[in-house]
Amino acid sequence: MPSQEHLNFINKLNDSKIPRQNQLIANRLFMKNFPRETTGAEIEHCFQTFGPVHDVKIIAKENTYVLNYLQM
């Protein structure tokens, strides 16, 4: 079961008021400090409002960090 911190984080991403661009540009986005239990599907769902998500990779090193990679 996801923690409350995790759910709050996902809700913040979903409620983002960042304006969408009219022109689509391929981008790669590297993110960190997501809760460990965040899934690729959750990241994709949050960012697909800004354009199609082509790939999500989660790179987790045990006891150190989680790096999320998103290509749009």
Mean pLDDT by 10 residues, the chain (72 residues): 78 65 65 81 84 81 63 63
Q: Which helix (H) or strand (E) holds 7?
A: helix 4-14
Total domains in the chain come to 1
For residue 3, give Cα distances in angstroms to 34, 37, 56. Answer: 12, 9, 22
Contact 33, 1 (CB under 8 A): no
Give the pLDDT of residue 23: 54
Instruction: Note whether residue 44 is domain-resident.
Output: yes
Give the pLDDT of residue 4: 84
Domain that holds residue 41: 4-17+33-71
Instruction: Note whether residue 47 is domain-resident.
Output: yes
Total-model pTM: 0.52
Q: Which helix (H) or strand (E) holds 68?
A: strand 65-71
Instruction: Note whether residue 25 is domain-resident.
Output: no
